[in-house]
Structure 1
Amino acid sequence: MEDSRDFLLAIRPNLPQVLPTESVLEQFQNTTLRPILKLQNDLLVAIFRQYIVVRKGQFYALSEKEQIQYIEQVVKKDMKFKHYLEGIISAYFTLDEYQIFLSHEEELTKRLINMLIQRLQSQLLLLTK
């Protein structure tokens, strides 16, 4: 069956190649998740900034260390928000990638969430503007 979603591969940013791996999970992480997270970066930052505003901006009163912890807690513990963010990423999967994701859903979801948290944490300056 032809994958009508293959056009999504063309819009992903090219990232520096990492060493080839035999692990399906690492390969998926490096060839699918990383480029999609980079592609969606500005949107993810905007969504998190809106999350902060809706929650009355308590984030801004926190120290940098507390902000980093806050990001992790929110993304891991607010299930509605977590699933929303997962959808923002998985919407850019091809059908083949989606099948791989389903085959290893628990582990790939953990990797996705951890990468997303790291991406947001590394951009504190953008989140607090």
Structure 2
Amino acid sequence: MSPMFDKVAQGKKHLLVPETVEQAEEMFHLCLHNKSLIPSKQLVKGFLDYYNTPRMSFLKKMFDALLEDQDALTPLLGKISAPTQVMWGRHEEVLHITCVDVIKREMTAPLHVDIIEDSGHSIPVETPKKAATLIMNFRDKFIYR
């Protein structure tokens, strides 16, 4: 269980699919460890108008499917054959950090895991330089040998 799943259990089923500014602010509080990065209400409104609203039906269906069977993807991990990079925020509140243990246990492909300090769910937003460096290092090590 993670803080997000605690909230889902309390009836906030579409926490990651906000429809209002208030719901979006709650989502950002959950996804960002560094709360100073939470955008202003005006930017949140723009996010909802541009990104979420046109995709709302799809996003809700996707989230419902994930909630219906939270382990549905686990058996597929062993079928991945490509080198894989996993970056996980140390302060992740959406998917508990113990999910990394499941990935490590189930995957047989070359796997590189980075746990990012000072980050939550939104690693590229919170630590963009670190994320870019890790991606480039992974590419250089596993892809362009």
The TM-score by the shorter chain falls in which range?
Answer: under 0.3
Indicate the structure whose relative CO is greater, using CA pairs within 8 Å and at least 6 residues apart.
Answer: 1
Report the TM-score when normalising by structure 2. Answer: 0.25
**Structure with the higher helix share, 1 or 2:** 1
The structure richer in strand per residue is 2
Q: TM-score, normalised by structure 1?
A: 0.27
